[in-house]
Amino acid sequence: MDVIELTWGGGGLNIVFDACREMQPWRQQPEVQNVYDRMMSLMATR
C-alpha cells in the first residue's frame, strides 16, 4: 500500500483490489478494515 500510494502503479492497484476481494469474509477484523480504509482514501485522492 505504501508504494502504491507513492507511485500509483497500475499493477499494484490491481493487486490491492484483488486482495480486498479475497479478504471480504474478514472485513470486520481491524487489520483488514485498515486496508479497506487506505484503499478508499487512495481512490478518493485520485
Place of cell 484483488: 18
- Check residue 19 and give its pLDDT: 87
Place of cell 483490489: 17
Query: CA-to-CA distance for 24 and 2, rounded, in angstroms?
Result: 21
Report the domain count for the chain: 1
Q: Which amino acid is at 45?
A: T
2-46 per-position pLDDT tens digit: 787 778 777 888 888 888 899 999 989 999 999 889 888 888 876
- Check residue 3 and give its pLDDT: 80
pTM over 0.75: no
Query: CA-to-CA distance for 25 and 10, rounded, in angstroms?
Result: 25
- Check residue 5 and give its pLDDT: 78
- Residue 29 is part of which domain span? 2-45
